[in-house]
Amino acid sequence: MINGFHLIELLITIFIISILATISSPLYTQYLTQARRLEAATVLSKLAIAMEHYYIEHNTYQGATLATLHFPNHIGKNHYQLNIQSIVDDDFLIIATPLAAQSKNDPLCGSLMLKANGEKNITGSGQIDECW
């Protein structure tokens, strides 16, 4: 009896591993995309709380910036860009815009938006509840 692997056994093993990798790769990408979107939604909620604290101290949202609120411009490792838009005395709109691979992998949700009254929205064609 000869010890070791035969070439056919090795090829079958490599074939099975490649099939498993092909199946699992899209699933991993999907979970990673959802996790990054959840991180962006969490940061938007924290930023909204910081905006409310700013409003309590200054009686206006005007003058609030990411820098004054100690928030970065990007979420994660450049997965989303964070912006404060449409600031008026008693209202604001904050947006997390997906960048690079996140934008490509998550077209149904697109950008996440949050208003001062807690209203959530998206720029994609998906369902708001599924994206948030």
Model's pTM, two decimal places? 0.81
Distance of CA 116 to the CA centre of its chain: 20
The token pair at 116 is: 């001062």
Q: What is the pLDDT of residue 118?
A: 93
What distance in Å separates the CA atoms of residue 124 and residue 132, rounded to the nearest whole number?
12
| Mean pLDDT, the chain, whole residue set | 90
pLDDT score of 40 more than 60: yes
Q: What is the pLDDT of residue 2?
A: 65
Q: What is the pLDDT of residue 38?
A: 95
Average pLDDT over residues 25-29: 82
Average pLDDT over residues 27-34: 89
pLDDT score of 100 more than 90: no
For the chain, give the number of residues. Answer: 132
Q: What is the pLDDT of residue 7?
A: 82
- Spell out the residues 6+ positions from residue 45 whose beta carbon is closer than 8 angstroms to its own: 114
